[in-house]
Amino acid sequence: MKNKKRLISIISVVVIVAILILLKVDFSGSDETVNTPGTGGPRRQVSVDIMLLEPQKLQNKIFTNGTTLSNEEVELRSETSGKITEILFEEGKRVKKGDLLVKINDSELQATLKKNLSRESLARDKESRFKQLLEKNMTSQQEYDVALSELNSVIADVEFTRAQIAKTEVRAPFDGIIGLRSVSVGSFISTQTNIAKLQSINPIKIDFSVPQKYSGVLKEGKTINVKLPNTAKTFYGRIYAVEPKIEENTRTVKARATVANELNELTPGAYVEVEIILEDIGATLLVPSFAIVPDIEGEKVFIYKKGKAVLQKVSTGIRTEKDVQIISGLEKGDSLIVSGIIQLRPNMPVSINPVK
């Protein structure tokens, strides 16, 4: 008798559960649902943010890395060996083209120069006397030619000695900033001794490379933007030379640009980020890259229409760091859904969040 009652109770429970399933009773207890025809039952409403699409200006850019170089750079060396008698520059300071930087002992050459100057004076007097005698027919042309030859020989000796003395002076070949010196007064140096480095850094050069597919648009005069990592400072420059050969190992093209550097904010040897502006595009529609929904049929976005999220197929173009250009599929004034995209389904009811 007890077993029969238990069996009846089990059958009753099973029947009740089956009836509830057939009636599609919602056990969730939620009252934030909307019955949407054709969707198979109640669906939760999602709150979203929207963006009204307006045409914007767009620049087609590519990004690469670069290295800063001095506009001019030279290791200062002497043209002759000898002992340094004077150092006339301060490390890290600016110098002008032609400034005397280092003087090497030239006492022997100075003595030779005095001797040759004395000989030159005597030779000039002799040449002058023979010229006067020749004009009065009191000497021969041959004797005058000998005197003139002696004078020219002595003049050549004087010029040679002065050239040797000039080699004992190290002068700045251009305006720039001189670096740290590696010699001292009294040091004996040779032609291989590095005295210091002289650099001109305004303007400064930027070396960078781009993939070979951009070689056709990488031309002289193209504008670039240069940024130092972790800073908001942007420098503007122009390409002035492009390597005619493509690098075989990397399949890239090397180019060089110049950037103004009046405040010496860019230092040679630094790593920089380079933006190359390929073209300026007029008004076009841009959407955030996260708003693009990938699909087997192509790329799509959700737009807000009459309280629903409508899935719209689009054709895309240029991609920037944050946005994607829309070539077709959207129009000015469309309401693009930019939040809750993962939760959305085609034609799902949505509500718009108030603007904060």
d(CA 143, CA 123): 13
352 contact partners, CB below 8 Å, separation of at least 6: 47, 48, 49, 50, 304
Q: Is-contact 322 292, C-beta < 8 A?
A: no
Helix (H, G, I), strand (E, B) or coil at 181: coil
CATH number for the region 75-198 comes to: 2.40.50.100
Token output for 163? 């050239």
What is the model's pLDDT at position 103? 97
| Residue 156 CA, distance from chain mean position | 53
**pLDDT by residue (tens digit) across 33-46?**
444 444 444 556 78
Q: Is-contact 318 325, C-beta < 8 A?
A: yes
Helix (H, G, I), strand (E, B) or coil at 121: helix
Going by the DSSP 8-state scheme, the letter that residue 32 receives in this structure is -
The domain 62-72+200-281 having CATH identifier 2.40.30.170: the answer here is yes
Residues in the chain where the model's pLDDT stays below 50: 1-2, 22-41
What is the model's pLDDT at position 12? 62
Query: Where are the domains positioned within the chain?
Result: 33-57+283-352, 62-72+200-281, 75-198
Supply the pTM of this predicted model.
Answer: 0.66
Q: How is domain 33-57+283-352 classified at the CATH fold level?
A: 2.40.420
What is the model's pLDDT at position 24? 43
Q: Is-contact 79 191, C-beta < 8 A?
A: yes
33-57+283-352 against 75-198: fold identical = no
What is the model's pLDDT at position 269? 93
What is the model's pLDDT at position 287? 92
Q: Work out the number of other CB atoms within 10 angstroms of the CB of residue 105.
A: 15
Q: Is-contact 197 176, C-beta < 8 A?
A: no
d(CA 283, CA 23): 55
